Structure 1
Amino acid sequence: MSHQHRSKLMDYQIRAFTEGSVEFINNQWVFFDNETEEASLIEEYLHQEIEIFSLNKWRKGILFDDGKICLPNENLFLQDQDLIRIRKHLIYSLETILTDMNDDAFFQFVTTLNSLQFSIYDCIYCYNHLSFLEKERGKNGVNFMIFDNEEYICNVQHHFTYLEKTSDRFEFTLNSGKRVVIEKITS
């Protein structure tokens, strides 16, 4: 699996974006989150990738001062009531685990999580024990992750052994009692 395939799998996660509309109030662009109805200044997202709903589709661009969005082939300026969406950030410790994971384990973890109706962007807690073992030759331990999709909670234990053989075992447990265990062993 290439970096491009990983990126594509991450791009199509449910709940990966905060969606809302913008209004120009008191000489400032204000973003209104559709889900929480909270307001925030759009300047918090300057120089980040956002998507604007234009020409009946979501178009990616980089947000700059004065509501300017640089798209690949043109520049747009925000208008009152424009719909935009902003990619959520992953918890840093989860992002590190996903980056360090081999391709097969990454794919199995993310697709299993998705099959349980969770997204990697639903992560509310992540303990990355692997990051504490960086200087050790053989690595062995457990990472803990908790996901919340607003209907269920999912606890994931990632048991890893990176010695002569590599083993990634994921134990998914939902608050409903449902359990799924997957394991990937490579030599």
Structure 2
Amino acid sequence: MDQQQRNHLIKNQNRAFITGSIENINDQWVFFDEETDEAFMLEQYSLQEVEIFHRHQWLRGILEEDGKITLPTSTLFLQDKMKIRIRKQITFALEILLNELTDDVLFYFIYNLNLLDFSIYDCIYGHNQLSYLDEEENRNGVNFLIFDNGECICNVQHHFTYEQECQDRFEFTLSTGKRTIVEKVSNL
């Protein structure tokens, strides 16, 4: 799997976006999350990539501070009731872990997480013990991740041993009591 395939796998997860509409209130753009009805200032996403629903399609551009979105070939000005998608951020500990996993382990982890109806964008807490260990030495420990998909909680323990052989074991435990264990062993 090359870097482009890794990025595709990560970026095309369910619930990767916060979707909502915008309104201009007192000369400030306010974003209303369609799922939670929460409102927040759109300016906190200035100079970030967003997607806007325009002419029956999602267009990707950069949200500028002056109420416009710069697209690759044009510029759109914000208007009341426009639909916007904002990509969620992956928690820092999980992002580092995803980068450290080999391609096959990354695939097994995401595949099994998705089977349980969770996305990497559902991660609400992560502790990446692996990032604290020296790469030159044998490494072993446990990473802890907690996911919330709005209906259920999933706790993931990633037990790893990287010595003469690499062993990755993921224990998925749902708040319903369901458990799944996936293990991948390979030689260095």
Mapped pair 1:18 → 2:18: yes
The aligned residue for residue 121 of structure 1 is 121
In the TM superposition, residue 96 of structure 1 has moved relative to its aligned partner by 0.6
Matched position secondary structure for 2:66: helix
Q: Unpaired segments of 5 or more residues in structure 1? A: none
Which amino acid in the other structure matches residue 133 of structure 1?
L
Q: CA deviation at 1:31?
A: 1.0
Pairwise CA distance, 1:136: 4.9
Q: One-letter code of the match for 2:138? A: G
Q: C-alpha distance in 2, partners of 1:74/1:115?
A: 40
Q: Which runs of 5+ in 2 are unaligned?
A: none
Equivalent in the alignment of 1:131: 131
Within a 5 Å distance, the mapping from 1:135-146 to structure 2 comes to 136-146=136-146
Which residue number corresponds to residue 173 of structure 1? 173
The number of aligned residues is 187
Give TM-score scaled by structure 1 length.
Answer: 0.95
**Whole-Å separation in 2 of the counterparts to 1:33 and 1:110:** 26
Task: State the distance in 2 between where 1:61 and 1:11 align.
Answer: 16
Aligned to 2:81: 81
Aligned equivalents of 1:183 and 1:52: distance in 2? Answer: 41
Kindly indicate whether residue 51 of structure 2 is the aligned counterpart of residue 51 of structure 1. Answer: yes
Percent of counterpart pairs with the same letter?
Answer: 56
SS at match of 1:65: coil
How far apart are the structure 1 equivalents of 2:90 and 2:172? 19
- SS at 2:36 equivalent: coil
Instruction: Give me the whole-angstrom Cα distance separating, in 2, the residues matched to 1:136 and 1:9.
Output: 29
* CA–CA separation in structure 2 for the residues paired with 1:27 and 1:148: 35
Residue 59 of structure 1 aligns to which amino acid in structure 2?
L
Task: Quote the residue 2:33 is aligned against.
Answer: 33
Output the CA distance in 2 between the equivalents of 1:39 and 1:177.
Answer: 34
Structure 1 residue 146, shift from structure 2 partner:
1.0
Cα RMSD for the two superposed structures: 1.2
TM-score w.r.t. length of structure 2: 0.95
Deviation track 1:87-133 (CA, whole Å, cap 9, x = no partner) reads 11111011110111111100110111001000111111111111111
Distance (whole Å) between structure 2 residues aligned to residue 132 and residue 11 of structure 1: 26
Shift of 1:134: 3.0
